[in-house]
Amino acid sequence: MATPYRADQVGSFLRPPEVKEAHTAHRAGRLSAADLRQLEDAAILRVLELQQEIGVDVFSDGEFRRGGWSGDFVESVEGYGPGEPAVTVFNTAAGNAPGQRPAAQARVITEKLRQKRRLTEHESGFLQQHAPGPFKMTMPAASYVLARGYQPRITDQVYGTRAAALHDVASIIKTKWRRWSTKACRTFSSIIRTTRTICPKSAMPSGGRLAWIQRGRSKKTSRPTISP
């Protein structure tokens, strides 16, 4: 008997060139938010159609509205300012040494975090309306968010300790999870800190279904275990 394998697409799709160009133009002030949204909407509709054609049964918007897969948290809160984080992961065209990252990416926690909008608010509504079936959004683990926004000599002046800053990050993410925390949802956890909650239509406040992914990073891997 053949060994069964399970494969999931995590949610990210390669952004079309026109979407990347539109994001660059918007940051430079050459493209309005409304025009950017229109281009993103069109690209998302195309990637939804692609997923349906190839048989994907839990849909993603490709994260086309984000500059990076984990960027929604930073855009949804206040409290970030210019600065080089203590940890950098991804290389850029200019390099990854201090001072080489694009200014828009060089941000650290400089004030107490304050949520200014619901996480994924600008993304999930469009998917509720247009996804052909269950859909998912992507959120990074709290530890991932903090590691890439934490600079001890700056952040500790505000929070005192790394643990205190992590508490605020986790509290903001937890508020989002509570929104979908119902007995009708099934949650699966693994030691790579990946959590997916699949909510049936009856659990959604405005129709549709949601597959929620929280992603983190770890060197360990394991078969998923079911959590209560």
Judge whether 128 lies within some domain. yes
How many CA atoms lie within 13 Å of 9's alpha carbon, on the beta-carbon side? 18
Q: For the beta carbon of residue 211, count every other beta carbon within 10 angstroms.
A: 20
Buried-state track 132-152, b at ≥16 Cβ within 10 A, e below 16:
eebbbbbbbbbebbbbbbbbe
The token pair that represents 175 in the structure block = 């508020």
Q: What is the pLDDT of residue 113?
A: 96
- Tell me the per-residue pLDDT of 54-101, one tens digit each, with 9 for 90 and over: 988 889 999 999 887 888 898 899 999 988 887 766 555 555 555 555
What range defines the domain where residue 162 resides? 57-226
Judge whether 184 lies within some domain. yes
Q: At residue 33, what are phi and psi to the nearest 5 degrees?
A: -65, -35
**Number of domains present in the structure of the chain:** 1
User: For residue 185, what are the contacts with CB-CB under 8 A and spacing of at least 6?
Assistant: 197, 198, 199, 200, 203
Judge whether 145 lies within some domain. yes
Question: What's the burial of 110, exposed, middle or buried (CB within 10 Å: 0-12/13-18/19+)?
Answer: middle
Give 198 or 143, the one with higher predicted confidence. 143
The token pair that represents 125 in the structure block = 């509504």
State the Cα angle at 33 between 139 and 131, rounded to 5°: 50
Judge whether 19 lies within some domain. no
Residues 191, 205: Cα–Cα separation, whole Å = 30
Residues 62, 137: Cα–Cα separation, whole Å = 9
Return the top range by mean pLDDT from 16-20, 84-88, 178-182.
Answer: 16-20
Question: Among 64-68, 137-141, 188-192, 216-220, where is mean pLDDT lowest?
Answer: 188-192
Judge whether 4 lies within some domain. no
Residue 139: C-alpha distances to residues 25, 26, 28, 29, 212 (Å): 26, 24, 27, 28, 8
Of 57, 112, 103, the closest CA to residue 83 belongs to 103
Residue 227 predicted with pLDDT over 80? no
State the Cα angle at 45 between 42 and 46, rounded to 5°: 90
Residue 137 pLDDT level (bands cut at 50, 70, 90): confident
pTM value > 0.75: no
| Mean pLDDT in residue range 19-46 | 95
Residues 204, 220: Cα–Cα separation, whole Å = 33
Question: Among 53-62, 93-102, 175-184, 213-222, where is mean pLDDT lowest?
Answer: 213-222
Strand order in the sheet with 195-199: 135-140, 210-215, 195-199, 186-189, 225-226
Judge whether 113 lies within some domain. yes
Q: Which residues pair with residue 212 across a beta bridge?
A: 137, 197
Judge whether 17 lies within some domain. no
Residue 204 predicted with pLDDT over 80? no
User: For residue 215, what are the contacts with CB-CB under 8 A and spacing of at least 6?
Assistant: 10, 69, 70, 138, 139, 140, 141, 144, 193, 194
Judge whether 131 lies within some domain. yes
